[in-house]
Amino acid sequence: MKIAIVCYPTFGGSGVVATELGTELAKRGHEIHFITYKQPVRLELLANKIHFHEVNVPEYPLFKYQPYELALSSKLVDMVKLYGIELLHVHYAIPHAYAGYMAKKMLEEEGIFLPMVTTLHGTDITLVGNHPFYKPAVTFSINKSDVVTSVSQSLKDDTLRLFDVKIPIDVVPNFIDLQKHQKNAYTDCQRDMMADKDEIIVTHVSNFRKVKRIMDVIHIFNKIQKKMPSKLMMVGEGPEKEPAEKLCQELGIEDKVVFLGNSDEVDKILCFSDLFLLPSEKESFGLAALEAMSCGVPVISSNTGGLSEVNIDGVSGYLSNVGDIEDMTKKALYILKDKNTLNQFKSNAKAAAVKFDLHNIVPVYEKLYFQALENSLTKNLTK
């Protein structure tokens, strides 16, 4: 099948999932066209059957805001016609589902029917999409999709609670390429580059937005490092980075916390990590937690959103209420208390990640694509 994938190309779970999905679909014989404003970060090479089409939005002095949706829908129309694309998969509803629907309508005028699959990822529903400024357009574009998926049961429940959705939502969890992770299983982790032999390595990976509760990460680590020699790896960039650096200075732990910025080597960093912290305010799934688990790193997370569908309490790590730093610290110290306990949690984390292997999940998307084709055909025949 010829498939167009629209996503955010930056560091962030939805873009990562979309990129990995497209890459695997190409391996399975589909022709994939990524359409976005920049080459997706994890799209390492433009392999056979993978194309990338950049959406350009020319500057014009009259515009306070550049009309990206307009440029995206025009690009979609052009690429669908040029390459004979048969299906559109948009990741993150805002504004992708809206632009996708406009493209669909434009193509319909020319007798081309383009089924659209919309994958809801998180804040497109919970934080941003639910805002009164966006809600009517988000509701409309969800209902106009031929197939809608959400990355967790929790996100599906949120969507049904917050929006007047009239079509079914399929839960398709996020995934990781376990084979790739195993192939990359760095045996020489260069751990000694980051910490002394007796030091525990705690890691956090995110885009450092408020919703990630970065200050909780620092406070939890501060309490851990008082009990045992340890280092904290902070991976990512975002608005909370500077305040976090300041807090480390105030607490006098700046020499124990390493801010690594955005990294293409998350696997390597996880390889030498002993514990992963994800105390988010909201998290529809928590792809970062799954990546950690697949590298054998136990997770201390909040119990918000879909995190309990990924991180199994008492098995791959522990979950606590949002903001309960004391409980998170207590549980972290329990995992780290001795080598045997830590090793048990490490192997449990790895085992719990297996069900999210891409080979289990990508065929589910493929099946839904055929369903979308059918839905679109039925809709258009009955018009």
Binding residues (CB under 6 A) for ligand GMT: these are 8, 12-15, 17, 92, 121-123, 151, 174, 211, 282-287, 305
For residues 33-56, one letter each, b for 16 or more C-beta atoms within 10 angstroms of the residue's C-beta and e for the rest, the string is: bbbbbeebbbbeeeeebbbbeebe
Query: Least Å distance between CB 305 and ligand GMT?
Result: 6
- Our CB check for ligand GMT shows the closer of 122 and 317 to be 122
- Our CB check for ligand GMT shows the closer of 19 and 73 to be 19
- Our CB check for ligand GMT shows the closer of 8 and 369 to be 8
Query: Least Å distance between CB 14 and ligand GMT?
Result: 3
Cα distances from 354 to residues 221, 298, 303, 349, in angstroms, run 28, 14, 21, 9
Query: Least Å distance between CB 171 and ligand GMT?
Result: 12
Query: Least Å distance between CB 359 and ligand GMT?
Result: 19
> How many CB atoms are closer than 10 A to CB 153?
15
Q: Taking CB positions, which residue lies at the least distance from ligand GMT?
A: 122
- Our CB check for ligand GMT shows the closer of 102 and 310 to be 310
SS (H, E, C) the chain: CEEEEECCCCCCHHHHHHHHHHHHHHHCCCEEEEEECCCCCCCCCCCCCEEEEECCCCCCCCCCCCCHHHHHHHHHHHHHHHHCCCEEEEECHHHHHHHHHHHHHHHHCCCCCCCEEEEECCCCCCCCCCCCCCHHHHHHHHHCCCEEEECCHHHHHHHHHHCCCCCCEEECCCCECHHHHHHCCCCCCCHHHHCCCCCEEEEEECCCCHHHCHHHHHHHHHHHHHHCCEEEEEECCCCCHHHHHHHHHHHCCHHHEEEEECCCCHHHHHHCCCEEEECCCCCCCCHHHHHHHHCCCCEEEECCCCHHHHCCECCCEEEECCCCHHHHHHHHHHHHCCHHHHHHHHHHHHHHHHHHEHHHHHHHHHHHHHHHHHHHHHHHHCC
- Our CB check for ligand GMT shows the closer of 16 and 50 to be 16
Query: Least Å distance between CB 53 and ligand GMT?
Result: 20
- Our CB check for ligand GMT shows the closer of 74 and 130 to be 130
- Separation of alpha carbons 242 and 130, rounded Å: 28
- Our CB check for ligand GMT shows the closer of 115 and 306 to be 306
Query: Least Å distance between CB 283 and ligand GMT?
Result: 4
- Our CB check for ligand GMT shows the closer of 303 and 344 to be 303
Query: Least Å distance between CB 7 and ligand GMT?
Result: 8
Query: Least Å distance between CB 290 and ligand GMT?
Result: 8
Contact yes or no for 148/120 (Cβ under 8 A): yes
Query: Least Å distance between CB 41 and ligand GMT?
Result: 11
Pairing of strands 31-36, 275-278: unpaired
- Our CB check for ligand GMT shows the closer of 107 and 211 to be 211
Query: Least Å distance between CB 73 and ligand GMT?
Result: 21
**What's the chain's Rg over C-alpha atoms?**
22
- Our CB check for ligand GMT shows the closer of 212 and 256 to be 212
